[in-house]
Amino acid sequence: MAFVRCKGEGSKLNVPPQYEEHVFVVNIVDNSEKLKEYLTYHSHVWPEVEAGFKKAGYERIALYRFDKLIVMTVRVPVGANLDQMGKLAESYSPKCAEWNVLMDTYQQGVSGTAAGQKWAETNLFYEFKHK
């Protein structure tokens, strides 16, 4: 058996994929029981939902909370279409769409969102990098 070695710079065989991060915010409805339920669901996310995330190509999804404010970071391949990724994730199983409908009942838009809009994408306005 012969092994082929690639020469030269720029070979894409060993280059890790490039990702970008998006940050979104949403509020949980002003109800302490609803907040508790929402957090409980997220302590045991349905396996079909996470399988849908994998199928769609998400690298990482993380949720952070301050009171009723939820911050979500999403790491995806550079240039990915988030709407298409969401649809692909939901197509994995009917449970994925069911999860999204259920979670929607707990969420409300932050100040400044349009009528009916829940999640709002944030804009990066400062970044420090140690070179």
Residues 6+ apart with CB under 8 A from 27: 68, 69, 70, 107, 108, 109, 110
| Domain positions in the chain | 17-121
CATH tag for 17-121 (out of 3.10.20.30, 3.30.70.100, 3.40.50.150, 3.90.1150.110): 3.30.70.100
Tens of pLDDT, residue by residue over 53-71, are 999 999 999 999 999 999 9
Tens of pLDDT, residue by residue over 65-115, are 999 999 999 999 999 999 999 999 999 999 999 999 999 999 999 999 999
What is residue 5's predicted lDDT score, i.e. its pLDDT? Answer: 38
Q: Helix axis angle, 82-91 relative to 94-104, nearest 10°?
A: 120
Region 33-45: mean pLDDT is 97
What is residue 64's predicted lDDT score, i.e. its pLDDT? Answer: 98
Assessment of whether the complete model's pTM goes beyond 0.85: no
